[in-house]
Structure 1
Amino acid sequence: MSNNNASSSSVAVAQRAVKQLRLEAKIRRINVSQAATDLKNFCLQNAHKDPLLVGVPSSDNPFRPPKSCGLL
């Protein structure tokens, strides 16, 4: 009986694997060179919006050091 359960379990695993492979076979793919070119163009077009490249204005920076208050 346990041999029957093991074989039905392995059949179920194989069926899931085949289903996954069929799904992956339907995915439209592009060449790596085309993907790299697209990624490079995207980065160049959006570089002016990237805070790591252009910085964050101090007025918009939530992590700036707090200003100290002094009594005059």
Structure 2
Amino acid sequence: MSNSSANSSLAMAHKAVRQLQLEARVSRIKVSQAASDLKGFCLQNAHRDPLLMGVSSSDNPFRPPKSCSLF
């Protein structure tokens, strides 16, 4: 292995170690706790969710346009 490729390989290894150290410091919670928190958030905010509650026709920007006819 040449000197430049060894330096490159060493630099990549140092970069990987730094990344792993950063990831090791991230605080984590259990998946069950995260799921419980997410479920609680969804239940608390369900009354504001337009996918669950629907959108009134006056507030819906995607409603079909009304056609006009002249007699």
Work out whether the TM-score is over 0.5.
Answer: yes
Q: 1:36 matched to which residue of 2?
A: 35
Query: In the TM superposition, what is the alpha-carbon distance from 1:17 to its structure 2 partner?
Result: 0.6
Query: In the TM superposition, what is the alpha-carbon distance from 1:4 to its structure 2 partner?
Result: 1.2
TM-score, normalised by the number of residues in structure 2: 0.93
Q: 2:69 matched to which residue of 1?
A: 70
Query: In the TM superposition, what is the alpha-carbon distance from 1:42 to its structure 2 partner?
Result: 0.4
Is the partner of 2:3 in helix, strand or coil? helix
Tell me the percent identity: 68
Gaps of 5+ in 2: none
For 2:2, the aligned partner's letter is N
Q: 1:55 matched to which residue of 2?
A: 54
Query: In the TM superposition, what is the alpha-carbon distance from 1:51 to its structure 2 partner?
Result: 0.6
Is the partner of 2:63 in helix, strand or coil? coil
Query: In the TM superposition, what is the alpha-carbon distance from 1:68 to its structure 2 partner?
Result: 0.4
* Matched positions, count: 71
TM-score, normalised by the number of residues in structure 1: 0.92
- How far apart, in 1, do the equivalents of 2:35 and 2:19 lie? 27
For 1:24, the aligned partner's letter is E
Query: In the TM superposition, what is the alpha-carbon distance from 1:71 to its structure 2 partner?
Result: 1.0
RMSD over aligned Cα, in angstroms? 1.1
